[in-house]
Amino acid sequence: MQAIKVRAEAASDFNAIDVVNLSAFQGESEAQLVSDLRKSAGFIPDLSLVAELNGRIVGHVVLSRVPLNSGGKSREILALGPMSVVPSQSHRGIGTELIDAAVARAKPLCYEAIAVAGHPDYYRRFGFKPAADWGVSCNLELPEDALLAMELVDGALAGGGEVEYPDIFRALF
C-alpha cells in the first residue's frame, strides 16, 4: 500500500473530512459533531488529524478536551472520536495509524489520559482498557463496556470519576 501521511487538519480540509464521515457512518450525526467540536471550548486543532493517501483525505480522528470529575474536583483529559476511514480504504491499517499518531501527539501536550466511547474490541488493541477497571464512567447513555480509557501518565485514572462529555455528543448516544 502507498504510504499514509497523518497530519493535523487545515481549514481547506473541512469539506473532505465531512465526506469521510458521511461515507463511514450512517447519517450525518458524526459529521455534524466534528463541525460542532471545532466551535467548542474543548477543540484542539493539533489533535484533529487527517490521513492522506495519494493526496486524498481517507481518514480522520479528533481528540478533544473533556472534564473528568472525581471527588468534587475536575481536571481535563481527552476524548477520542469521532474517528472514520472511508469504506473503500478500511482494513488497511489507516485507523491504526490515526490512533497511533493521535496518542503520540497527545503525550507531549501533557494530557494524562484518553477516553473513548466505541467498539471495545477495536480499541483494546491500542492499549485502551475498560474504563470501569478504574471506576471511570461517563454522562452518556452507552453500554458499560463501550467506554474505554488509556492512561498517558501512569496512575492518572486511579481516582476514577465521571467523564463529562459536552452536550454535542448526545446526538450520538
Give residues in contact with ligand COA (CB under 6 A): 24-25, 81, 83-85, 90-96, 118-119, 121-122
In sequence order, which residues have a C-beta less than 8 Å from that of residue 92 and are 6 or more positions away? 1
Q: In angstroms, what is the C-alpha Rg of the chain?
A: 15
Least Å distance, CB 131 to ligand COA, is 14
Dist. CA 36–CA 168, nearest whole Å: 7
Least Å distance, CB 110 to ligand COA, is 25
Based on CB atoms, which residue is closest to ligand COA, 70 or 82? 82
Dist. CA 4–CA 130, nearest whole Å: 29
Least Å distance, CB 27 to ligand COA, is 11
Least Å distance, CB 30 to ligand COA, is 8
135's torsion region: left (phi>0), alpha (psi -120 to 50) or beta?
A: left
